[in-house]
Amino acid sequence: MHRATRRRLTLATALVAATTAAVAVTTSAGAFDSKEQARKAIQGGQAKNVILLIGDGMGDSEITLARDYTVGAGGRLNMDRFPLTGAYTTYAVHADGSPDYVTDSAASGTGWATGVKTVNGRISKTPGTDKPVRTLLELAQRNGYATGDVTTAELTDATPAVLAAHATDRSCQGPADMAKCPSDTIAAGGPGSIAEQEVGHQVDVLLGGGRQRFDQTITEGKYKGRTVTQQARELGYQVVTDDASLKAAEAGRPVLGLFAPGNVPTEWTGKAAAVGGTAPQRCVTANPNRPATTPSLADSAATAIRLLEAKQRANHSKKGFFLQVEGASIDKQDHAADPCGQIGETAAFDRAVKVARDYAATHPDTLVVTTADHGHTSQIVPLEATPPGLSATLVTDEGGQLKVNYSTNTPGQSQEHTGTEVRIAAQGPLAYRVLGVTDQTDLFTTVREALRLR
Ligand SMILES: [Zn+2]
């Protein structure tokens, strides 16, 4: 037998085994909708659309916490219902290419957005030479797809930035923030700040926080003296700032949604974890600091899909869209050891996953991938444990008590990312590529091949 033939047969056997295993799971907990969905995923084919959902810092502990608290230990979240699930590794690299075992969102995002690993803090540029690497969004645009980038962080934060910007350091978010990116300034012949690059890229839909970055004044180049928001308007953007104006956005012109001066406020609040623990608490499922006019991540995702679809329809394009949707503050509340904030954001992200899966149910030529960019600090520990660091006890919706511990850093310091592998789950064309243990740079190849990006 030729080696190539044997390899094909081995792959076919592995995929049949995977289907059988996956089908077996449907009988417990309703892990996914149909055998047909799994078969289609395994058969491969070309995708018309890709929706990539990134839970920032959403390791298995963060998923389990949200599941336990909201739907119960025996329940299933929307993100638990994908037909195919694997694990992927997330490490960054040092400038010499050797592994840096704990990544940040910039290096991680550069990995999945470009297929190239880089140093922590860098946005879609190489680790040693600091050269720009083309991204999935840039490739999608070049190949005629509509593109969208949605987040609950500032739009210029690392995860949305890696798709539509190249910067030596993630801090170079607005024209006044360029201290760490001397070679990226327009004066030095570079592309300018992340905010300027995002609107300059003419991404069709940009939704998130970070209004203050876009309100900064550009100091160099063609738009000198204008703010980035004014630059966006001159480039044809509709600028929206709340739920009503977002819903009223017209298809046919790009949309820049800026829903908060900084990060979009969290959905839930509660008492942060403390040294020695907290009294048992229920989370407050409303945040007085979050204006009622703020769109949810699910609403932003649904509107983005509507606008991207409408653009392609108006252009009579056979190509669909590439959309990234980030639940950013899972990570930020993990850093802050705030379990209620964290769980509320995971649940909000999960509702955005449902929007994507509902769309794919009627558009099966859509590849939907849900994953994280790195693991994080929160751990579910026994009630009787007295762990070091910060702890909190929660009373779940099903009435149980749950103890969460945060001790990846000294109390008072920001809690840290971890270097663990994370879940990746998918449905639709080429979804089988998430099976097994892969690296996050493989996600770049999966999306590129699903959309046949050249
Ligand atoms: Zn983080």
Is position 374 annotated in a ligand binding site?
A: yes
Q: Which residue do the tokens 């991938």 mark?
A: 369
Phi and psi at 362, nearest 5°, equal -100, -5
Q: Is residue 2 included in any domain, yes or no?
A: no
What residues form DSSP beta bridges with 114? none
Rounded to 10 deg, the angle between the 297-314 and 339-362 helix axes is: 30
- Report pLDDT for 19: 40
How far apart are alpha carbons 344 and 285 in whole angstroms?
7
Q: What is the dihedral of CA 175, 178, 181, 185, to 10 degrees?
A: 40
From the CA of 103, how far away is ligand 1's center (Å)? 9
User: Residue 370: inside a domain, yes or no?
Assistant: yes
Tell me if residue 353 falls in helix, strand or coil.
helix
The secondary structure of residue 188, as a DSSP letter, is T
Alpha-carbon gap, residue 444 to 449, rounded angstroms: 9
Domain assignment present for 363: yes
pLDDT score, position 41? 64
What is d(CA 266, CA 246) in angstroms, rounded to the nearest whole number? 19
pLDDT at residue 118, as a whole number: 98
DSSP 418: B
270-320 pLDDT tens trace: 999 999 999 999 999 999 999 999 999 999 999 999 999 999 999 999 999
Helices and strands: H and E segment counts in the chain: 14, 16
Number of folded domains in the chain? Answer: 1
> Tokens 């309703």 map to which residue?
30
pLDDT at residue 30 tops 90 = no
* Domain assignment of residue 31, yes or no: no
Distance 411 CA to ligand 1 centre (A): 16
* d(C-alpha 394, C-alpha 41), whole Å: 38
The amino acid at 309: E
Q: pLDDT value at position 44?
A: 73
CA of 369 to the centre of ligand 1 (A): 21
CA distances from 362 to 32, 37, 53, 356, 358 (A): 16, 12, 18, 10, 7
Distance 108 CA to ligand 1 centre (A): 11
Integer distance in angstroms from the first to the last C-alpha of the chain?
33
Task: Kindly state whether residue 405 falls inside one of the protein's structural domains.
Answer: yes
Higher-scoring residue by pLDDT: 24, 259: 259
Q: What backbone torsions phi and psi does residue 28 show, to the nearest 5 degrees?
A: -90, 160
Phi, psi of 269 (to 5 degrees): -135, 175
| pLDDT band with cut points at 50, 70 and 90 for residue 20 | very low
Ramachandran region of residue 136, left (φ > 0), alpha (ψ -120 to 50) or beta? alpha
Q: Quick one: pLDDT at residue 5? A: 38
Cα–Cα distance measured from residue 55 to residue 331, given in angstroms and rounded to the nearest whole number = 8
Provide DSSP, 209-271.
Answer: E-HHHHTSBP-SSTTTTSBHHHHHHHTTPEEE-SHHHHHTPPTTS-EEEE-SSSSPPPS-B-P
**Is 56 annotated among the ligand-binding residues?**
yes
* Confidence check: pLDDT of 40 > 80: no
- How far apart are the CA of 252 and the centre of ligand 1, in A? 35
Residue 364: which domain range? 37-450
Q: Average of pLDDT values for 33-52?
A: 78
Is 373 assigned to a binding site? yes
What pLDDT does residue 214 have? 98
CB 145 within 8 A of CB 451: yes
Tokens of 5: 């033939």
CATH of residue 195: 3.40.720.10
Judge whether 331 is annotated as a binding position. Answer: yes
Q: Is 98 exposed, middle or buried (0-12, 13-18, 19+ CB in 10 A)?
A: exposed
Q: Cα(248)–Cα(240) distance, rounded to whole angstroms?
A: 9
pLDDT band, residue 35 (cuts 50/70/90) = confident
Residue 306: in which H helix or E strand, if any? helix 297-314
Residue 401 DSSP SS3: strand
User: Token match 């703020």: residue?
Assistant: 294
Q: Is 326 annotated as a binding residue?
A: yes
Residue 106 lies in a domain: yes
Residue 181: pLDDT over 50? yes
pLDDT in tens, 376-402: 999 999 999 999 999 999 999 999 999
> At residue 81, does pLDDT exceed 70?
yes
394 within a domain of the structure (yes/no): yes
CA neighbours closer than 13 Å in the CB half-sphere of residue 109: 35
> For a pLDDT cut of 90, what percent of the chain falls above it?
90
- Asked if 263 and 328 count as a contact pair (C-beta separation under 8 A), the reply is yes
Q: What percent of the chain has pLDDT over 70?
A: 91
Q: What is the pLDDT of residue 7?
A: 40
pLDDT tens per residue, range 144-164:
999 999 999 999 999 999 999
126 three-state secondary structure: coil
Strand, helix or coil at 128? coil
Q: Which residues are catalytic?
A: 105
13 domain-assigned: no
Lowest mean pLDDT among 35-49, 331-345, 409-423, 428-442: 35-49
- Cβ atoms of residues 94 and 127 within 8 Å: yes
Across 105-115, average pLDDT: 98
In contact, 294 and 264? CB cutoff 8 Å: yes
Confidence of residue 45 (pLDDT cuts 50, 70, 90): confident
